[in-house]
Structure 1
Amino acid sequence: MMVEIKIPFVKTKLEEFPHVPSPDNPLEFFRSLHLQVSTCFPVSSLGFDSAQLRKLGADPDSNLNEIHFYFKEETPPTFFNDLLDNKKTNFELVFDTKEVNLTFIIGFNSSYETDSNGPIINLRCPRSSKKQILETFIEPKKTGIIKVLSQNSNMPNSGPTNQQRIQQLEDKSKDDFFYKSISGGILIIFFLIIILVLWTRNRRRAN
């Protein structure tokens, strides 16, 4: 039975690594994106047995902290540019558990299990920290099994951005200065006319 996993997350930080050795072949390299994420998705929702996770030292109720994507340099996934876009922060990771090789790994020195024909997805829990890291390996011949959907286009318009607000304030300041300058000039001309009229009357009386 196929179980579709949907992990909504907010990208809080991104690091790109151009050459990461393959776990299966040290002479083969991956390009990698390491994302620090904010999500309410507990690791137990991946389908691992909660009791087994606790026995191995992991907290099944804790949420994912990081998501790492690995892919071949010459075949970046379609969502690659979306992840690099600083304006896009809301995403959803989608895959079916029966179509991937989902493995739980404690520490950094464990071997990868590749007994499945699907792309590798590892839940890695380093012993030295409380991080919960999801590692996903995108294979060019199996595209579409692991999807990352940008949610920003579906979000309601929350108003102008900070840069737009700054531009609006600058434009308003320029307009205010322009109108104040005109108003000030009109007042000066008005007072000059009054002074000229009074001076003319006084001069006539003097004559």
Structure 2
Amino acid sequence: MTTIADQLGLARQSVAPMPTTPPQRWCILRTSPGRTLSLAKSLAGAGFTIWTPSEVQTRRRPRTRTVREVDAPILPSFVFASADRVHDLRRITMLEMSPHPQFSIFQHGGKVPLIAERELARLRAEEADAQRRSALKRAERARRERGARPKAAIPIGQKVDGTGPWSGLTGTVTECDGRTAIVLFGGILPVTIDAWKLASGEVIAA
């Protein structure tokens, strides 16, 4: 017999029992994907027992190297609510002006199916794995930032004597953003050099 959990891909698996309260039953709320987390937060703030699996994702700000973290739903459009207040939730869906993002209560065959806590085991495990991955990525970014080369302000027009492949050439700094500098050697050869190399003397200031 196909259960509602099977339809949602919430296959049962053997995991250690949760060390909190005894298993409860959940009803399923549906909303638009973009409102998943805001609905969960809004209803939780109103005193409902709510859960939706989420993870932290990293997004790069446009035209920068800055990375920011954002919360994202693992199962967009699905929010689980404790079934003991399904009647209160139904009343909210009937309000003309609701203080919460719009949602509906999922029904199957004209009835509200209830999900046992054990049927959410796979999603609970997936959320825990996502949190561990996020923590590892966060630690790796912090490690890289600690080892990152500092910015260096190199004045435009600064004369430099090249070393290595530019040995014997004298160049002029034409651009510098603190990370990299463009040095024009011989008046015709623009070369991009890490600014810290200029500041540290790897390319010697004249």
TM over 0.5: no
TM-score by length of 1: 0.27
Instruction: Tell me the TM-score normalised to structure 2 length.
Output: 0.27
Q: Which has the larger radius of gyration?
A: 1
